[in-house]
Structure 1
Amino acid sequence: MLAIFTNAFQAVYGTLFEAEHRSTFYIPYWKIPLARWIVPRQRKFYNDLKVINDCLDGLIRNAKETRQDTYKVAVVGLRKLHVATLEMPKYHSLETDVEKLQQRDYLNIKDASLLRFLVDMRGSDVDDTQLRDDLMTMLIAGHETTAAVLTWAVFLLAQNPSKIRKAQAEIDAVLGQEKPTYESLKKLQYIRVIVAESLRLYPQPPLLIRRALKPDLLPGGYKGDKEGYPIPTGTDIFISVYNLHRSPHFWDRPHEFEPERFLEQRKSMDIEGWNGFDPSRSPGALYPNEVVSDFAFLGFGGGPRKCVGDQFAVMESTVGLVMLLQKFDVELKGPPESVELVTGATIHTKNGLWCKLTKRSNVH
């Protein structure tokens, strides 16, 4: 079993490298007939896809075969918690399904997982291809991006010891030695903006690509052509999120690591077409988004093509960062200049991020 998952993860990295290659190579030679069999790297890519698909198909098959017919519903009444085991009802409405899933005690279910939730949510007759696509999104898109965000968050924090201490003070005050929960994440405001600031300086992905499906007119923008720019059908538009996030028009000291900037309002400073940064525009949002920044911050894109896993990714990053800083102090092994940056589908390091971890001695 371990060998199967090792092969699957190696295949995941292989598909990521191919995605980076395709996003930067100027000729789409992989679309040429027979290229998938003739070109060695394309043969490897399709072999990697088969490994991943076979692995996911096995997990899906197991989840369906072991799908439980009972679940526990917690009924609270008169200060006493009663647990009743009921037969799993047939799915009859989305509203009812969501309500019952919210009541289900996943902590006491064998093999609890995101896959288990998807199978329960969609029923036993859900199409395997759809489940596999959902899992592929989480496995590939949700793995590399989260790892990259955490890498750069640690890289930035290690160069700012005062911000590490500030983050650890918040963690100690909110959690102590307890593990983070969703409720506690709501109180870890500074940790959340550290994640956002890491995404601002090192966005994942650093480049967004959109293709015009019909003729359009792109607005001129700040100091651009007042008449705008005609966009013919089929035009690919490349949006440099990296440059947008470091633009001096939208950000004070744009190249500096300042998580606190996301807690303050910033007026547009007479920049035509931009309404400034205002956290109150998205009440209840745990993380800054394109709404509060009027699209100056696109950590996960924006609009109808925005990343569907954005909240999962930032929460996953926050939990990982919390559990690291809760136990350890972090230092870089070498100078920051020795960390080489590689850009593709994500921004990552060429040879990893080598750090020195020291167990905290003053944890309360």
Structure 2
Amino acid sequence: MDTPRPLALTMGDPAGIGGELSVRAWLARRTGRPFVALDDPDRLAGIARDLGLDVPVRVVNAASAAGAVFRDALPVLPVRLAAPARPGHADPANAAAVIASIEQATKLTLAGETAAVVTNPIHKSTLYGAGFAYPGHTEFLAALTHTPLPVMMLASPGLRVVPITVHASLRRMLEMITVERIIAVTRVTAAALREYWGIAAPRIAIAGLNPHAGEDGTMGEEEITVIAPAIERLRAEGLDVTGPLAADSMFTPDARARYDVAMGMYHDQALIPLKTLDMHHGVNVTLGLPIIRTSPDHGTAFAIAGQGVADPSSLIASIDLASELAARKETTA
């Protein structure tokens, strides 16, 4: 049986926990699909040595070589650091390598050499001096793939959520919520659920913005003037959409059983429930791209970097989900 195409695993910030997560994910090796790290092999070997982990590191010259070595060693396509990484101390000198790792992983996946991109956490403010001009991974990947509307989904075994607006202040978020944006984000979400999750007729729950979903306009009118009209148009397109729903009651066990994805109006409205229910297995998935991209649902965790206590569960879940989505895409193709 042929070895499946590997996943491309990016470096993340070298001062964070990404390197430790990468070596621990290789130790887990739960999926039948290999991954190749786009990282500094000396850094990864040093992390494994310092933490007492039996993780041989093997440099490969091409992603296609990863499958042959993955059972016995962690395959690495070298992306060399400019300065030694110090746990917990971000160094702008290494920003170019972090960016290059993401760019190369994206290029490999667009070319079909790797099946998906799995990204370790980055520290955005450290990257700005190297020309990084994006709010985060999602927007950078959209630029690299010429995607007009990337959509962020957080997925766990028991819940999927999508915020209509993402990294914006509450004040700015109010300006961003329009009928057109709700429709566009929901369309991308529905298409992804059909293509990657195999859900032929996705059930989509859309939250209101105000307390009690506005309570007939007494607590806010956005549900009447913006959200309900968007829902009507989506239903006219044949989508199974409910709402606007009161956000404080749409995440109970009974409520979650009635939909396949919950659409929140803003970042915290959507993400707090998922992170509260299953922080360690939440996966960030970027929808709307021409490639599959997943990522752990946490940051660089500088405070615990290098201590050997970082939990790799979310990265392992990201690898597992990327492998699952890639397999479904390959099968349907």
Q: TM-score range by the shorter chain?
A: under 0.3
Rg (Cα) greater in structure? 1
The structure showing larger relative contact order (alpha-carbon pairs under 8 Å, at least 6 residues apart) is 2
Superposition TM-score, scaled by structure 1 size: 0.23
